[in-house]
Amino acid sequence: MQGALRTNRPSWTLVDTPASSRRFSRTGDPVRICFDLETPGLDELTADIVGWAFCWEPGHGWYLPVRAPQGSKLLDPDTVRDACAGDRNPEIEKTNQNIKYDMLVLRRAGLELAGIGVDPMIGHFLLDAGARSHSLAALSEKYSTTP
């Protein structure tokens, strides 16, 4: 199955204004989303959320920064929480590399993740437990044909 995926040049939208937040909130009605939290550390017990990344259509993602260097444009944390309400909707399946980490970071922030779906890291471990790595970089190298 090596080389099964083919993608075009990806694009993304930075969501850092109320107007872009409204566009983000009104975009599509996805049944599945891939999301990732950006954090400054790897310890889920102390890491704070720096930003949220989402994708629900091939080739396009959204990034919502919640912490950045002084002077950067940021959305109010409550606006981000409202915009990301889909994370709490069990009807929308969430996929994420190492979803347990993000689930624990969200829980520490007072948010419960619902509708947990596929975790490629766990899936790859089940397919090839002896693989040297189950990282997203290793999976991309093995299964992607993007130059």
Question: Domain spanning 11-116 has what CATH number?
Answer: 3.30.420.10
Asked whether the beta carbons of 139 and 120 are under 8 A apart, the reply is yes
Domain assignments of the chain as residue spans, ordered by start? 11-116, 119-147
d(Cα 48, Cα 18) in Å, to the nearest integer? 22
pLDDT tens over the chain, length 147 residues = 455 555 567 899 998 888 888 777 756 677 888 999 999 998 998 998 899 999 988 888 999 988 877 888 787 777 777 777 666 788 889 999 999 999 999 999 888 888 999 899 999 999 999 999 998 889 888 888 765
Biggest CA pair distance of the chain: 48
Q: Please report the pLDDT score of residue 28 as a whole number.
A: 67
Rounded CA separation 14/21 (Å): 9
Q: What is the pTM of this model?
A: 0.78
pLDDT attached to residue 80? 76
Give tens-digit pLDDT for 78-100: 777 777 766 678 888 999 999 99
* Residue 89: both structure tokens together: 């909707």
